[in-house]
Amino acid sequence: MIELRNVSKSFGESKQSVEALRKVSVSIQDGEIVGIIGYSGAGKSTLLRLLNGLTSPTSGEVLVDGVNPSTLKGAERIRFRQQFGMIFQHFHLLWSRSVNDNVRLALELANVPKNEQDQRIAELLGWVGLTDKAHQYPATLSGGEKQRVGIARALANRPRYLLCDEATSALDPETTRSILDLLQRIHRDLGVTIVLITHQMEVIQAIAERVLVMEGGEIVESNDLLPLLLNPQQEITRKFVKSIVDPGERIPWEHDTVYRLSYVDTLSSRPLISEIIQRYGVEVNILQGKISRTGQSSYGTLYVTLQGAHQKEALAFLQEQGVRVGVES
C-alpha cells in the first residue's frame, strides 16, 4: 500500500518557488487501477514521481508499505525504486539500443545475470507481442510498438506497481485502445497495481477503478469510477465527465419537462423503459441517449419526456431500480 501524508512539493528558490503539490493525502491499495486526471500543471506528474522517489517531497511523507523513500540511500534506494515500473508519453527508449537491448537495460541495472537475461527478454517481448521486432531499433517502430517496448522494459524486473505518465497521450485512438487493453491484461494476469495520470477522460473511463481529480496541486475529488461519472461533485470533474458523457446535440423540446435518466448496467440488462410503459401507461419519447463502456461495466444517459397520468409513479419506479432521475432545464 502507498500512502501520502500531507505531501507538499515546491520547485525553485524560495521567492519564485512554484508549489506543485499542496498538502496532498491519499492512499493507494495494492491491486487497484487508480486514474489521476487533471489539466497540465495540476501536479499529476509530480505526484507520480514522488511514488518511486524520482523526486522527494518538500514536506509531508510518502510511505510505501511503511517505507519512506526519502530515508533510503544507495543500493536500498535502487531496490526500492525497482518495485516500480514506469512508462512515459514519449516512451523514452534509447535509440542507440535495439528493442532487445532496451529491455536488457532494465535487467543490467538490476544486476540480473547475463545467462538469464535473454530468456527473460524473450518472455517479455512475447508478452507484449513484439517477438518479431526484437532486433529492430526504436526508430523503425510505430508509436504503439514503442510503448510496448516501454512496457516490456518497465515490467522487466517484475515490479509491484506500474506508473503510467500520460502513456497513451501521444497515440491515436485505436493504438490507445490496444495499449489500455495491454495494461488491463497486466493488471489482471500479473496483479500489478497501476497508477496512471492523464488528461483524457476516455482513458480514465476505459481503465480506472478509482479516480483522483487534481487541480492546482490538490486532489479536489476522489471516488470510484462509476459514482464519479454519474455524480461528479466539482466543476472541473463535471467538465471532464461531460467531455465523454455529453451526448451532444439534442432535439430542442419546450413543451414539457425533459428528464435525464442516468444508469449503470440496469437499462442494458432489463427492459425498464418498456416496463414503465406497460405498468404505468406512460408514453415515453426518447430525445437522445448514449451508452458508454467502462473497464467493468456500462453506463448511460437517456433524455426523455413522459406523457400520461402516472408519470410520478413511473419515475419513482425507475429510481427504485437504480436509475438516477434528473430534470433538464
Q: Which positions touch other proteins (CB under 8 A)?
A: 52, 54, 78-79, 81-82, 84-86, 88, 90, 92-97, 105-106, 108-110, 137-139, 150, 153, 156-157, 163
- Residue nearer to other proteins on the CB measure, 130 or 315: 130
Whole-number Å distance between alpha carbons of 130 and 136: 10
- Residue nearer to other proteins on the CB measure, 136 or 298: 136
- Beta-bridged to residue 35, according to DSSP, are 196, 211
* Nearest approach, Cβ of residue 94 and other proteins (Å): 6
The 8-class DSSP code of residue 55 comes to: S
Residue carrying the nine cell digits 425533459: 258
Let me know if 242 is exposed, middle or buried by CB neighbors in 10 A (0-12, 13-18, 19+).
exposed
For residue 43, the surrounding DSSP H or E stretch is none
Whole-number Å distance between alpha carbons of 183 and 84: 15
**177 Ramachandran zone, left/alpha/beta (phi>0; psi -120 to 50):** alpha
* Nearest approach, Cβ of residue 207 and other proteins (Å): 21
- Residue nearer to other proteins on the CB measure, 53 or 217: 53
- Residue nearer to other proteins on the CB measure, 193 or 262: 193
* Nearest approach, Cβ of residue 48 and other proteins (Å): 10
245-253 long-range Cβ contacts below 8 angstroms, 24+ apart: 245/290, 245/292, 245/301, 247/288, 247/289, 247/290, 247/301, 247/303, 248/288, 249/288, 250/287, 250/288, 250/303, 251/287, 251/288, 253/287, 253/305
* Nearest approach, Cβ of residue 267 and other proteins (Å): 44
* Nearest approach, Cβ of residue 217 and other proteins (Å): 21
* Ordered DSSP codes for 180-193: HHHHHHHHHHH--E
- Residue nearer to other proteins on the CB measure, 20 or 302: 20
* Nearest approach, Cβ of residue 211 and other proteins (Å): 24
Q: Is the dihedral of CA 93, 99, 102, 103 positive or negative?
A: positive
Strand 258-264 relative to strand 2-11, pairing: unpaired
* Nearest approach, Cβ of residue 39 and other proteins (Å): 21
- Residue nearer to other proteins on the CB measure, 38 or 138: 138
- Residue nearer to other proteins on the CB measure, 135 or 255: 135
